[in-house]
Amino acid sequence: MKGIYENYMKLEFASKSNNEAFARIAVAAFASQLDPSIEELADIKTAVSEAVTNCIIHGYEEKDGIVKIECMILANTISIEISDTGKGIEDIETAKEPLYTSKPDLERSGMGFTIMESFMDEMKVESVLGLGTKVTMKKMIKKEAKEESTYV
Amino acid sequence: MNATYNKEDKLLILEITEEIDHHTTEKIRRKADYEIERFSPKRTIFDFNKVTFMDSAGIGMLIGRYKLVTMLGGTMEMVHVKPSIMKIFEMCGIPKIIKVG
Ligand SMILES: Nc1ncnc2c1ncn2[C@@H]1O[C@H](COP(=O)(O)OP(=O)(O)O)[C@@H](O)[C@H]1O
Ligand SMILES: [Mg+2]
């Protein structure tokens, strides 16, 4: 992850489904230093869960692999990069369409990218067939009234 | 997940007690299908009171159960859904198909 930042973390873990909860909780804990609202934190957890699950089911097709997460904080924005070195996506635009899934047999809803896109402020997908996929998401944590000072 | 069946009302209540993601849906699906097929209930209620997290894996799982329940001539609904999860249901257009409260 390039660029300037005030804080940074990196996580790498095996592509096992029981790491999905670990990943979203770890990112939420890192994000909590921005003092997000409960709703903002829930949005981040859901988006991370979607991206990590995609690496495990689609990228590695439930075989062994490593999922990587990098997070960066700058001012009141958190950037989250989630990547795999799995099979890659042939047509990113189609993959991002609501309800599109390449695995309907697994009762997938095809709503993962749609959720990531609407729960975060920005989402970018980069992928090379046979090399892997990287999803970069950003969310600005809004300053709320609780931050205001009172002068007497 | 806890299952309670009321014979008189042909009512099956499935209380989900874990976070719902790709990891946990397999177990929830197996248990739910077992109870639904066993009783063929008139009404199936998924109680979300204890559910603090759900991602899109839950949507796929619930639509699958909805298909099974309706195929057996019953109805399905979700109750006690927290706002953060309701947001996902709404985004996926679930309230138009399945009763959610
Ligand atoms: N990391 C990934 N590696 C390979 N393919 C992916 C990856 N992430 C997503 N995809 C592709 O994009 C499609 C849409 O993803 P998504 O919106 O999350 O829906 P779902 O996971 O329910 O299929 C997937 O079905 C898959 O074909
Ligand atoms: Mg997905």
Q: Interface pTM (ipTM) of the complex? A: 0.94
What pLDDT shows up at residue A102? 96
Domain residues of chain A, as ranges? 7-140
What pLDDT shows up at residue A146? 55
User: Which chain A residues are closer than 8 Å to B94 by Cβ?
Assistant: none
State pLDDT tens for residues B44-60: 999 999 999 999 999 99
Q: pLDDT band for position B27 (50/70/90)?
A: very high
When pLDDT is averaged across residues B19-42 and rounded to a whole number, the result is 97
Active site (annotated) includes residue A24: no
- Backbone φ and ψ of B75, nearest 5°: -115, 160
Considering A20, A24, A40, A54, which one is annotated as catalytic? A54
Other C-beta atoms closer than 10 Å to the C-beta of B26 total 14
For tokens 């699950």, the residue is A53
Q: How far apart are the first and last CA of chain A?
A: 45
Asked if A68 and A84 count as a contact pair (C-beta separation under 8 A), the reply is yes
Atom of ligand 1 nearest to the CA of A135: 1
Say which CATH architecture domain A7-140 belongs to.
2-Layer Sandwich (3.30)
Considering A19, A108, A117, A126, which one is annotated as catalytic? A108
Asked if A52 and A13 count as a contact pair (C-beta separation under 8 A), the reply is no
Mean pLDDT by 10 residues, chain A (152 residues): 87 98 98 97 98 98 96 97 98 97 92 97 98 98 68 60
Residue B82 has pLDDT above 60, yes or no: yes
What pLDDT shows up at residue A145? 57
Minimal Cβ distance to A53: which of B21, B29, B84:
B21
Residue B34 has pLDDT above 70, yes or no: yes
Q: What crossing angle do the helices spanning A19-31 and B22-39 adopt, rounded to 10°?
A: 130
When pLDDT is averaged across residues B17-27 and rounded to a whole number, the result is 97
What pLDDT shows up at residue A150? 60
Give chain B's mean pLDDT.
97
CATH number listed for the domain at residues B2-100: 3.30.750.24
Task: Give the residues surrounding ligand 1 with Cβ less than 6 Å away.
Answer: A 50, 54-55, 58-59, 84, 86-89, 95, 100-103, 108-113, 133; B 56
A86 CA distance to ligand 2 middle (Å): 15
When pLDDT is averaged across residues B20-39 and rounded to a whole number, the result is 97
User: Which chain B residues are closer than 8 Å to A111 by Cβ?
Assistant: 56, 59, 91-92
Question: In percent, how much of chain B has pLDDT > 90?
Answer: 99
For tokens 């795999």, the residue is A84
Minimal Cβ distance to A109: which of B23, B29, B59:
B59
Q: pLDDT band for position B14 (50/70/90)?
A: very high
Instruction: Name the pTM for this structure.
Output: 0.94
When pLDDT is averaged across residues B91-96 and rounded to a whole number, the result is 96
Asked if A100 and A54 count as a contact pair (C-beta separation under 8 A), the reply is no
User: Which chain B residues are closer than 8 Å to A20 by Cβ?
Assistant: 21-23
Structure tokens at A29: 């804990």
Q: How far apart are the first and last CA of chain B?
A: 19
What pLDDT shows up at residue A149? 57
Nearest chain B Cα distance for residue A72, angstroms: 23
Q: What is residue A29's three-state secondary structure? A: helix
Structure tokens at A145: 């009234």
CA–CA dist A82, A135 (Å, integer): 5
When pLDDT is averaged across residues B68-88 and rounded to a whole number, the result is 97
